[in-house]
Amino acid sequence: MNIVDEIKESFRKGSVLTRLIYVNIGVFVLLRLINVIFFLMNENFGLINWLALPASQEALLQHPWTIFTYMFLHFDFLHILFNILWLYWMGKIFLIYFDEKKLLGVYILGGLFGGIFFLLGYNLFPAFANHLQFSRLLGASASVLAIIAAVATYAPNHAINLLFIGQVKMKHVAIFSIVIYTIGIASSNAGGNLAHLGGAFLGFLFVYLLRKNHDLTSVITLLSDKLQKLFKPKQRVKVSYRNQNSANMDIEYNRKQNVKQEEINRVLDKISKSGYDSLTKEEKELLFKMGK
């Protein structure tokens, strides 16, 4: 199996988090390669303008797809490096408390809310009037901030270790980020900071509504499932027969799975209220086995 086949297999069998990382890296590499061709031909590279989100309403009407494509778009190496690292790290923590479908939903909705905050900010405030026509937004930062804010809202006492700082709780990471991005609105990256705040707002809103039994990500999940069915090859129907013993075994298996899920939910609720360190050795082992 060559490297291309290995990447395809990894993407096909990988988690939603793995696929999101692959898509971001794939788009980055493809754009940079195309940029080399344009450079050698001494032509201007204008593809970014077709994929990045424009601040101008007129430009947005001409390129409406950019409200979606911008959140997978990077051009600078350091930009994608930090976004991918945060996406991987925070995505892993997110999956401790939520499932993969919600991760995809928060990523997409966080990007959409980030784009909306960017558009509203540039079109409502006079400070951006002179920059409106040529300002564009790109990058997964708003989506990543939505994931961070969701974790911080659901499990505020979840602790992480930061280089040179040590152990920090998620609620402090979220609060610090929001303060920095709010201050940054008056900087050269005003659009990016507005988008960050939009993503963070979505992350908080997602958890707030989820606790009221309303899942914002259900629409994204529905669309994702339909797309998967649309592109999934049809399989032949196989007829199988099961005796009474196998049916009883299935019932017993389902009962054990339900008991196990109830125990997992209890552990996650305990982490949300008291933090990871409050778990017993047996509870930590259960959580570790669940994450495999």
Shared domain check, 157 and 86: yes
Shared domain check, 190 and 67: yes
Per-residue pLDDT tens over the stretch 7-22: 777 777 778 999 999 9
Shared domain check, 152 and 101: yes
Shared domain check, 99 and 22: yes
Per-residue pLDDT tens over the stretch 236-291: 655 555 555 655 666 666 666 766 777 777 877 777 777 777 778 777 777 666 65
pLDDT at position 265 is 76
Write out the residue range of the structural domain in which residue 238 sits: 233-290
In total, how many domains does the chain have? 2
Q: Which of 191, 212, 228 is the last residue of a domain?
A: 228
Shared domain check, 137 and 242: no
CATH number, domain containing residue 20? 1.20.1540.10
Residue type, 195: A
Shared domain check, 251 and 162: no
Alpha carbons 87 and 147: distance in angstroms, whole number? 8
Closest CA to 80 of 147, 39, 21: 21
Shared domain check, 213 and 260: no
Q: Which of 228, 248, 276 is the last residue of a domain?
A: 228
Shared domain check, 83 and 7: yes
Q: What percent of the chain has a predicted confidence (pLDDT) above 90?
A: 64
Per-residue pLDDT tens over the stretch 37-83: 999 998 888 889 899 999 999 999 999 999 999 999 999 999 999 99
Shared domain check, 256 and 131: no
Residue type, 210: L
pLDDT at position 229 is 78
Report yes or no on whether pTM surpasses 0.85.
no
Shared domain check, 238 and 96: no
Shared domain check, 154 and 53: yes
Cβ-proximal residues to 272 (8 Å cutoff; 6+ apart), any chain: 97, 154, 155, 157
Question: Is residue 181's pLDDT more than 70?
Answer: yes
Q: What percent of the chain has a predicted confidence (pLDDT) above 70?
A: 86
How far is residue 63 CA from its own chain's centroid?
23
Average pLDDT over residues 105-109: 97
* Residues, the chain: 292
Question: Is residue 108's pLDDT more than 80?
Answer: yes
